Structure 1
Amino acid sequence: MSHRILIADDEPNIVVSLEFMMKREGYDVLVARDGTEALATIRASRPALVLLDGMMPGMSGFEVCEAVRADPDLAGTRIVMLTAKGRDTDVARGMGAGADAYVIKPFSTQELVQRVGELLA
């Protein structure tokens, strides 16, 4: 059984490349275009891992991460924050919100695939 991954990002180019890359790795991929849709999809589909953009319309990725961590039913969901916000305070906020990893855009696709594999191992 392949792991289900949710890509939550409001930038179509990033979604397309991440979706292609994750499907190529054998993952079942879902997509959400904003934070509100991301949280609803996480609750309905229970992905094993979420690639979560920090800044999205509706709810930010940080808010989605906090909501997931506050829900005991979703506690096992792995979250990788993918964001252009790279200051130390942003990283601390993402990790403080409960992210399992924090990846700053632009990122190495190979490193991201490797990180996802490690988190799902």
Structure 2
Amino acid sequence: MTDDLLTIPQAARLCAMSRGTIWKYVKTGEINAYRTPGGQYRIRQTDFNDFMQRNNMYPRAFHEPDNHRILIVDDEPQILKMLTAMLFRDEYSLETAKDGFDAGVKIMTFKPGLVILDLIMPGMDGFEVCRQIKTNADTAHIKVLAVTGYDSEENRDKILAQGADAYLTKPLFKDNLMQTIQSLLDAENPNTHRVSG
């Protein structure tokens, strides 16, 4: 796939719709498309982004820079709810994931600038999620803020060794959280921030 053109199947995958549904939008003119000399339809990425934005469709953040997108990963629904409420009014585009596997999918589709990552989760834990983010050339630039209710020197050293950019302990306090997030997203150099809470 080039940066500028999408096929019907590629557009369908981007918004989790069937090819038939995307084809319907193309035929009705809701999605601008053109035909190649071979008779295939192609959609310009900018036209598709506009269509998704007009319809508030996922992913919502195509037009926002990475540093406005935050993925919150935690297996506790109340923590997801609390963090979403804290960050909602600060004009970040937010997504949540309930476990490490869900996080992997959201990282590739939502393309966050920052992942707020719980360490202790069933299945794939935060240590492994962080390792996968930081060892993949396509995602290594993503900032990782590790958070845990199980503070220990071992956990702190282990997650920082996996490449986490900052570390905070639960309970999270809004002022400290917001200051840490801002410093990570505003950073213009690759040096990591070893913040503890």
Give TM-score, length-normalised by structure 2: 0.59
Q: Find out whether 1:65 has 2:130 as its counterpart.
A: yes
* SS of 1:44 mapped into structure 2: helix
In the alignment, the residues of structure 2 paired with residue 61 and residue 31 of structure 1 have an alpha-carbon distance, to the nearest angstrom, of: 14
Amino acid at match of 1:86: D
1:24, distance to aligned residue in structure 2 (A): 1.1
1:36 maps to which of 75, 93, 101:
101
Please state which structure has a larger fraction of its residues in helix.
1
Percent identity over the alignment is 39
After superposition, where does 1:1-121 map in structure 2 within 5 Å?
1=64, 3-121=68-186
In the alignment, the residues of structure 1 paired with residue 100 and residue 114 of structure 2 have an alpha-carbon distance, to the nearest angstrom, of: 15
1:20, distance to aligned residue in structure 2 (A): 1.1
In the alignment, the residues of structure 1 paired with residue 155 and residue 140 of structure 2 have an alpha-carbon distance, to the nearest angstrom, of: 22
- Gapped regions of structure 1 (runs ≥ 5): none
1:57, distance to aligned residue in structure 2 (A): 2.0
In the alignment, the residues of structure 1 paired with residue 109 and residue 136 of structure 2 have an alpha-carbon distance, to the nearest angstrom, of: 13
Runs of 4+ in 1 over 4 A off after TM superposition: none
- Gapped regions of structure 2 (runs ≥ 5): 1-63, 187-197
The alignment of Structure 1 onto Structure 2 pairs a total of residues equal to 121
1:58, distance to aligned residue in structure 2 (A): 2.2
* SS of 1:73 mapped into structure 2: coil
- Deviation string 1:43-76 (CA, Å, 9 cap, x unpaired) is 2221000000001122101100000111001011
| Bigger radius of gyration | 2
1:108, distance to aligned residue in structure 2 (A): 1.4
Give TM-score, length-normalised by structure 1: 0.95
Q: Provide the aligned C-alpha RMSD in A.
A: 1.1
In the alignment, the residues of structure 1 paired with residue 108 and residue 131 of structure 2 have an alpha-carbon distance, to the nearest angstrom, of: 13
